[in-house]
């Protein structure tokens, strides 16, 4: 499976999750400190770039999805050392 295929599979799976399932995924895979970091960093980033409204609210979630995808990649895809 390629990184692109994994990303599409992840997006499809994540879109089908309900709120309690999403919360379970977060609780099992993301430390609270990381969630706090994403929120603070996204706020600073949005302020520095003048991002407002809905886009500003979505930044922490976008960062979180990227983080979860990276965690999944590390767990499922072979590294160059493994090849």
Residue 83 clears pLDDT 60, i.e. is over it: no
In this prediction, residue 17 carries a pLDDT of: 92
3-state helix, strand, coil in the chain (%, to 5): 80, 0, 20
Cα separation of 1 and 20, whole Å?
A: 28
pTM: predicted TM-score of the whole model, two decimal places: 0.75
Taking every pair of C-alpha atoms in the chain, what is the biggest distance, in angstroms? 45
> What band does 79 get if pLDDT is binned at 50, 70 and 90?
low
């Amino acid at each position: 499976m390629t990184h692109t295929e994994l990303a599409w599979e992840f997006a499809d799976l994540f879109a089908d999750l309900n709120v309690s399932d999403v919360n379970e995924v977060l609780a099992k895979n993301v430390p609270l400190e990381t969630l706090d970091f994403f929120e603070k960093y996204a706020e600073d980033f949005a302020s520095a770039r003048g991002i407002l409204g809905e886009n500003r609210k979505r930044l922490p979630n976008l960062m979180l999805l990227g983080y979860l995808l990276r965690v999944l990649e590390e767990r499922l895809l072979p590294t160059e050392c493994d090849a």
